[in-house]
Amino acid sequence: MNRDALLVRYRVMSDTRLHFSRLYFAVVAFSVLLTVALWALFPVPRALVAIGLVPVAGAFVAQRLLLRERSAFAAMTAAWRELNGEAEPAGVRSAPGAMALVLIGEVIAGLALVAMGMAALL
């Protein structure tokens, strides 16, 4: 590929990554705020079963956005390496990262709310 096409590809992947990263943070913030608002509006322990599903569903949507963001990052770095003539690194696997750990925490919090609601039903 010529240099101009690679620069355009890099820019497009960079914008795509930024787009999905912003959506990820928006979904996480929305699901957390919606959970808190529902808990404030419906303080009945039985409602916790339904309220606990909000962060679980939010984490699922955010996880899909995170995968898209990581895919765009991989394409962006591949374009950068090709642009600079760098070799592809050997199959290096990275740790899950803070964004994935936030999702795990959100799911755990949602499941804890569901468990508290289920315990209140019994």
Specify the pLDDT at position 84: 81
Res. 80: pLDDT tops 90 = no
- The domain total for the chain is 1
Rg of the chain on CA atoms, in Å: 20
What's the pLDDT tens digit per position in 36-62?
Answer: 999 999 989 889 999 999 999 999 999
pLDDT at 28: 96
pLDDT higher at 110 or 97: 110
pTM of the complete model: 0.85
Note down the domain range covering 52. 3-87+95-121
